[in-house]
Amino acid sequence: MNSRERSTDSGIEIRPVYGPKDLEGFDPTDELGDPGAFPYTRGVQPTMYRGRLWTMRQYAGFGTAEATNERFKFLLNAGQTGLSCAFDLPTQMGYDADHARAEGEVGKVGVAISSLEDMRLLLAGLPLDEVTTSMTINSTASTLLLLYQLVGEDQGVRGDQLRGTIQNDILKEYVARGTYIYPPRPSMRLVVDTFSYCNKEMPNWNTISISGYHIREAGSTAVQEIAFTLANGIAYVEAALAAGLELDDFAPRLSFFFNAHNNLFEEIAKYRAARRMWANIMATRFGATDPKSMMLRFHTQTGGSTLTAQQPESNIVRVTVQALGAALGGTQSLHTNGFDEALGLPTERAAKLALRTQQILGYESGIADTVDPLAGSYFVESLTNEVERLALAYISAIDAQGGAVAAIESRYMQDEIESAAYEFARSVDRGDKVVVGVNRFSEEETTRADVFPVDEAQQQAQVARVASLKTRRDNDAVRVALDDLRTAARGSANVLYPMKSALAAFATLGEVADVLRDEFGIYQPS
């Protein structure tokens, strides 16, 4: 790259110096406002981290429910302030641990949860009226949510006392991640049924975490990440309104999930632009009147795809830079990746060090002492404006196709992401984009980080447990409850109520998914 040419990861040209001329026509009163006030460019709370630090929510999940429960308690004892749960692929895809398609995948990339029995073990000893829990689950999100509620009821905790988030963002699965089960339109019904159910039964639960994280992991630019995420958000709002829900009843519980990559200032601008865009979308497009309906609240995770297997300790620095950007950008909660995650699941040592990274930033760096410390920077404000302009152009293109669902069905989003990923890979191959330890400053590896062990015995124990449950429960009661779910799925009733009854009778996650597979069909991408 020419020494005089610089650009962000989204291809936005970076000039050598910025000044007042770069903000001509920029009205700080309209475009910035005050922290905690429309359009929320400067943050969703008036005091931000001066009042309370972001929630330090480390992602965890592996093997059996008991093993993950131990990791949860380890992290809470180390000072974590919220739980975040990863589920294995069979759980994400609606298969029980004893299903033939689950063989070899049980407990590998997350915890295996097949039934209420498993969820009770996962949450044993955790005070659900005090802790907030995030669950990264999409196709089977409603099932996991109801299992969580049932365990809360075991503890005597009412639905309105439970606080947390389910990801429940099925659209990005078709775009970037692939853990879908049903076609897009019946999947959207499940999302909306969850909105409606939680409005009545779990009003303090965040019913969706509209995710740009996986869009970015698939290779998108920062601009594409927020554009496609907010376009999906628009589609969810439109679907909920079409189902008869009142905007200000469900919109305050919408939340978002973004990635944090290495280009520090573009990442900060991305978060600030996304807040302003969503506030204007909700106010002008949908006519929201409740300020909470216009607030874009988001969780951030540092970029898994940026981590290198080469010189893995270098990832500690990458994660620190990324976490710094998320905090300076005003995130509400944060997960920092373990330095060894390019090799496997994070070891306890790596998980604790990742948490300590957040704690040092929060308590020692001074970045939490004032709200939006970079506001008014010629560079940051100019970059925020440009990110917003380019992202709005993408949303206009998606609107012209009929919205996010149509743009997904036509593969518009997927093709844009694939093109960006290809161009990034070429830039690394050419050496234009430096990745330390990979295409520059590489060295012969003499030491390797410890790799998290996969316990085959744990997997076998989980398979045996779910198989045993199916012989011990009242199978007649399960059959009746699943028939009620089938009737609801065929009609227009909210499926979560009969689903909860089936799960309480110890119907398994896989059996619930099989009923919906029969009624909704299975998505086969063209």
Residue 154 has pLDDT above 90, yes or no: yes
Position of tokens 């398979």? Answer: 463
Measured in residues, the chain has a length of 526
Specify the pLDDT at position 63.
Answer: 86
Q: Please answer whether residues 186 and 521 qualify as being in contact, where contact means their C-beta atoms are separated by less than 8 angstroms.
A: yes
Residue 382 maps to a domain: yes
Owning domain of residue 125: 20-402+409-430
Q: Considering only 84-93, 209-218, 447-456, which range has the smallest mean pLDDT? A: 447-456
Q: How far is CA 449 from CA 173, 342, 444, 453, in A?
A: 32, 10, 14, 12
Residue 522 maps to a domain: no
Specify the pLDDT at position 4.
Answer: 66
- pLDDT tens per residue across span 78-89: 898 889 899 999
Name residue 307's amino acid: L
Q: Write down the mean pLDDT value for the chain.
A: 94
Specify the pLDDT at position 223.
Answer: 98
Position of tokens 């949510």? Answer: 145
Question: Which of 9, 7, 12, 21 shows the shortest CA–CA distance to 378?
Answer: 21
Q: Please answer whether residues 209 and 255 qualify as being in contact, where contact means their C-beta atoms are separated by less than 8 angstroms.
A: yes
Specify the pLDDT at position 241.
Answer: 96
Give how many domains the chain has, as a whole number: 1
Specify the pLDDT at position 447.
Answer: 57
Q: Rounded mean pLDDT of 506-516?
A: 98
CATH, residue 279: 3.20.20.240
Dihedral, CA atoms, 399, 402, 407, 409, nearest 10 degrees?
A: 170
Tell me the pLDDT band of 58, cut-offs 50, 70 and 90. confident
Coil/strand/helix, residue 392:
helix
- pLDDT tens per residue across span 383-428: 999 999 999 999 999 999 999 999 999 999 999 999 999 999 999 9
Residue 39 has pLDDT above 90, yes or no: yes
- pLDDT tens per residue across span 280-304: 999 999 999 999 999 999 999 999 9
Q: Rounded mean pLDDT of 192-206?
A: 96
Cis amide linkage into residue 498, ω under 30° from 0: no
Residue 475 maps to a domain: no
Residue 436 maps to a domain: no
Q: Rounded mean pLDDT of 91-97?
A: 97
Residue 2 has pLDDT above 60, yes or no: no
Residue 28 maps to a domain: yes
Coil/strand/helix, residue 336:
coil
Residue 160 maps to a domain: yes
Q: Are strands 208-211 and 205-206 parallel, antiparallel or unpaired?
A: unpaired
Residue 126 maps to a domain: yes
Residue 327 maps to a domain: yes
Specify the pLDDT at position 1.
Answer: 46
Position of tokens 């990440």? Answer: 225
Specify the pLDDT at position 387.
Answer: 98
Tokens describing residue 502: 């089936």
- pLDDT tens per residue across span 327-369: 999 999 999 999 999 998 888 899 999 999 999 999 999 999 9
Q: Rounded mean pLDDT of 176-200?
A: 95
**Percentage above 70 pLDDT, the chain:** 98
